[in-house]
Structure 1
Amino acid sequence: MGGHRVTGVLAALSLAASAPQTIAAIHAIMQSHPAAAAFEARMSDAGDQPQARSERLFAEMAQWPDEVRSGPLKAYHRGDWHTIDLPFFAQNYNPPREPQIADINLLSALNENLRIAADTSAPAADRAVALCWIFHLIGDLHQPLHAASLYSPLFPDGDRHGTRFFVRPPHSEDAVNLHYFWDSIVQRSQNMSDVTRTATQLQALYPRSTLDEMQQQPYRSPASVRGWIIDESHRLAVSEGYLDGRLAGATERRNASRLSEAYAARAQVVGARRMSLAAERLAEIMRALFPH
C-alpha cells in the first residue's frame, strides 16, 4: 500500500516549510544506507528539484521496511515490529487464555530505533536504517488496526490485529482482512504521481492547525509515543475499527460480511486524518533529532 509513501511526502512538505536544515541532515545520513544506490536511483526520477527529491527520498524511506520482507536485504526485515496487540475484549468477553503482549513490538522497536538515530557515535549506516524504521513505524502506530487485537467468541485467541477478521468491502466481491482494509483505505497505489496527489489533498484537508492532538499529546521524548498508541490508535480501533464489538466479521473469506458504505466512508476519514497526524509528528521527531 502507498500510505507510507504519502506520510513520507507530507513529512517532507512540513519540514521544508519549518526546518530545511533537518532535511539536509537526513539526506547526509541516508548516503550511508545499505540501499543508498537504490534510493538515489529513485530520487533521480524526481529530476534536479531539491524539494521533489526530498519528497521522493522520504517516501522511499517510509516504504523501505516493507520492501525488505524479501530480497537481498531481507536481514533487515523485522516482522514483529509493525504492530502491538493491545487486547480488546468484545462485550466483556473472557478469553480461555490471558493474552500476552510480546516484549518485542511496535513500541519497543520504535524506542530502540529512536535511540540509535539519536546516537551520533553510532555507525552512519545503522542510523540511516533506524531512520527508515522510524518513518515506517510512526505511520504504522497511527493506523488503528496496528494497535489492537479483538478477543471474542469468534476469536478466542485474538484476531491478530484484524488479519484473521474477514470482511467484504462495499462494491467488491473479494473478501479482505480488516487490517488490510484499513491499511489500504486511503492510498493503495504506489505510483508516485498518485502518492503526491493524495499528499497534496491531505495537506489541504488537514493542516497542522486542525490536528488538536499535536497540542494535546506533543512529542517531548520517546515516552510520548505510548500515549499516541493507547489513547488514540487503540481507542480508534475499538470504536471505529470494531464498532465497540458490533462489527460483523468472519474467520473465513467465504463467510465474510459486507461492510456498509457508511463504515467505509468513516474509515476513509479516520485513516486520512491519522495519516496527516503521523506525518506532522514524524516531522516533529525529526526536528528533535536534528535541531539547528
Structure 2
Amino acid sequence: MIRIVLFVLMAQLAVAPAYAWGKIGHRVTGAIAVHYLSDNAKAAIESILGPEGLAEGSTWADFMRASPEDFWQMESSAYHYVTIPAGMTYAQAGAPPQGDAITAITKFTRTLKDPDASREDKALALRFIVHIIGDLHQPLHAGNGTDRGGNDFEVTYFGRETNLHAVWDSGMIDGEQLSYSEMTEWLVQKITPEEAADWMDINPVVWAAESAAIRDTIYPADPELRYGYVFNHIDTVKLRLSQAGVRIAAYLNVVLAQSS
C-alpha cells in the first residue's frame, strides 16, 4: 500500500504545473499569518473576503491562471516571481517591462489602500498580496534568469522524472503527508516570539534577496534526488513557509492599519 501511495504521489508531481509552493504550502502561509494579524487587519480582511479567509484565498491567484480573461492570460503570470541573476541584487537587475512580483505588490497595495476601490478589486488585491508574499519565499521564485526558476532543471525525485521547481513547490511538502492545518499547527508551535519579531520585515526586496541566496545553494550535483536531498533541505522549506506566514501578517498589519 505504501508503495502504491508513493507511486501516485510521484506521478502527480511529474505532471503537475509548477507555480509556487503548491496548494498546501500557500495555505500554510495564510493560516500561519492569522496567528499574527492585528485586530484592525482581521476586521479589514473579513470585510473584504467575508468567511473566505487567508488560507483559502492564498491559492486563488494560481487557480485563476486558467481563466481566459486577458488579465490572467496576458498580464498576471509575471506577478509570481522575480529574476535576480547570480551575483546581482534586485536593484541592479531591475524589474522587466511587464512587471514582476515586487512591482505587483506595490500595485495591489495601492488598490487595497484606496478608499474608492470596489470590494471586488480589493479582494483581488488582497488575495494576490498573500499569494505573492508566499511566492517570494520559495527560493526558485527568485530565479537566476537561465532556467525559468528551476522549471528547466530536470531531476528525478524518488525515481520519477520532474524538475527542481516542482520538488520545491510541492514535492518535499507533500512528502510530509500532512494536511495544511496539521503543518500549520506544527510550525506555529515552533516559532518563538523572538523569531517572529526578527522576521517582521515588510520589504519585499529583502525577501527576494533571501530567496536568491538560498536558491544558489539548492541546485544538486546529482539530479537523482531521494531522502538525502530532503534531509538537507526540508528545514529550509519549513523556515521559508514560517517566515512567509509571519510576514504576510506583518505586511497586512501595516497596510490595513487604518481599516475597520
TM-score, normalising length: structure 1: 0.70
Letter in 2 for 1:248: A
Correspondence for 1:166:
154
Correspondence for 1:288:
254
Alignment CA distance shift 1:148-1:213 (3 Å): farther
SS of residue paired to 1:68: helix
Report deviation, 1:163: 0.3
SS of residue paired to 2:66: coil
1:102 maps to which of 87, 96, 104: 96
Say whether the 8 Å CA contact 1:208–1:280 is kept in structure 2.
no
Letter in 1 for 2:138: Q
Alignment CA distance shift 1:66-1:14 (3 Å): same
Correspondence for 1:47:
none
Q: Does residue 58 of structure 1 match 2:71?
A: no
Correspondence for 1:194:
179
TM-score, normalising length: structure 2: 0.78
2:207 maps to which of 204, 228, 233: 228
Report deviation, 1:14: 2.1
Aligned length: 227
- Which structure has the greater CA radius of gyration? 1
Q: Does residue 68 of structure 1 match 2:64?
A: yes
1:88 maps to which of 73, 80, 86: 86
Report 1 or 2 for greater relative contact order, CA contacts < 8 Å, sequence distance ≥ 6. 2
Say whether the 8 Å CA contact 1:62–1:135 is kept in structure 2.
yes
Report deviation, 1:164: 0.1
CA distance in 1 between counterparts of 2:154 and 2:207 reads 27
Q: Does residue 29 of structure 1 match 2:48?
A: yes
CA distance in 2 between counterparts of 1:133 and 1:211 reads 23
Correspondence for 1:94:
none
CA distance in 1 between counterparts of 2:197 and 2:155 reads 32
1:237 maps to which of 203, 215, 222: 215
Correspondence for 1:272:
238
SS of residue paired to 1:187: helix
CA distance in 2 between counterparts of 1:72 and 1:24 reads 33
Letter in 2 for 1:13: H
Report deviation, 1:261: 2.8
Alignment CA distance shift 1:282-1:100 (3 Å): closer
Deviation by residue 1:68-122 (Cα, 9 ceiling, x = unmatched):
1114778446111111121127xxxxxxxxx986231111111111121122222
Say whether the 8 Å CA contact 2:149–2:165 is kept in structure 1.
yes
Report deviation, 1:23: 1.1
After TM superposition, the runs of 4+ consecutive aligned structure 1 residues lying more than 6 A away are none
Structure 2: where are the runs of 5+ without partners? 1-21, 88-92
In percent, how many aligned pairs have the same letter?
28
Alignment CA distance shift 1:213-1:163 (3 Å): farther
Correspondence for 2:17:
none
CA distance in 2 between counterparts of 1:266 and 1:238 reads 14
Q: Does residue 179 of structure 1 match 2:147?
A: no
